[in-house]
Amino acid sequence: MKLRRFGGLILIAGMAGLGLLLPGWSRFLLTLALARGLLVLGVVLLMQAGLVSFGQGLFFAAGAYAVGFAVRDLGLRDALVGVALGAGAGLGIAALTGPLLARYRGIFFAMLTLAFSMILYGILVKAYWITGGTDGLRIPPPTFLGWSLPEEHLGSGLYLFTLACTGVMVFLIFRYLRSPLGYTVRAIRDNEVRVEYLGLSVSRALYITVLLVGAMGGLGGALSAMSVGHIDPNLAYWTTSGEFVFVALLGGTGNVFAPLAGSIVFEFLRTYAYKYIPYTWQMGLGLVMLAIVGFAPGGLWSLYELIARRMSGWMWSWKRGV
């Protein structure tokens, strides 16, 4: 029981140690996967309400450009300031779009999120004198509480910082899903009319969920921007948002760690696909998705749960035999 209670802390500690032992390129991919995994976790949260978002790039780009503007115009390079501004930018965008998004369901919700994301993409491309247009903006290495890490330790520092931010958000989402609001959102997916009959506000519950998803997406954008060191309008493009949906299906929705696992697998899979099949890597990812849909419709996390159940059954049988 205690192991299950502290399983998340053990997993994060293990990932911290593993990340420091891996080569630099693997640690960089893990950093990106964790940052983007926050966007995927937002997709999964909306799926809990029966909604699919094709516009996560809206919050992703908002958080990233908030960091870019803070560095260029205000000279603010501290990582803590960056993530605060990124999360705030995502939250602000969600606060503006949320009242409209909360009124729609199904394909209308998906297309509306896509439309908002593409509007931001158009603004980022056209407002060259502000955003740098398609050239984007360069982001120098961040500082940590005013300290500049040596270049050889910068990757490790960014990885641990991203892991810590991700761990905090995963804990908050874990608590959210077990709160009355979390149960309300899942009830909306099952029967929205009955939730209204119970006297609960469907629009309010969805609006709060959109705010949470927006803040989490902005945080992921800020962490990704600081890790990569460059941002451009493609962060808000529809293909970026489509990747987040792809990864959500790849990882599954059975646990808060499933989107992060799916994001890590996707980053490494895409990297090796670029290396070995650079001209047909999209086809390779498509074949992987077909395999997941065919053999594990619940995503990679369903495979983990299946293996865990079988191992538990084998252990129980072995103990009875003993």
pLDDT at 314: 62
Q: What's the whole-number mean pLDDT along residues 102-128? A: 92
Q: What are phi and psi of 143, to 5 degrees?
A: -105, 165
Write the CB contacts of 215 (distance below 8 Å, at least 6 apart in sequence): 87, 88, 90, 91, 94
Provide the pLDDT confidence category of residue 3 given band limits of 50, 70 and 90: very low
pLDDT at 67: 95
pLDDT greater than 80 at residue 201: yes
pLDDT in tens, 220-240: 999 999 999 999 999 999 989
pLDDT in tens, 241-279: 998 998 998 888 878 888 898 899 888 888 888 888 777
Half-sphere exposure of 7 (CA within 13 A, CB side): 8
pLDDT greater than 70 at residue 42: yes
Provide the pLDDT confidence category of residue 1 given band limits of 50, 70 and 90: very low
Q: In b/e form, how buried is each residue of 243-282, taking b as 16+ CB within 10 angstroms?
A: bbbbbbbbbbbebbbbbbbbbbbbbeebbebeeeeeeebe
In this predicted model, which residue has the larger pLDDT, 149 or 108? 108
Provide the pLDDT confidence category of residue 280 given band limits of 50, 70 and 90: confident
Asked whether 97 and 210 are in contact (CB, 8 A), the reply is yes
Report if pTM > 0.85. Answer: yes
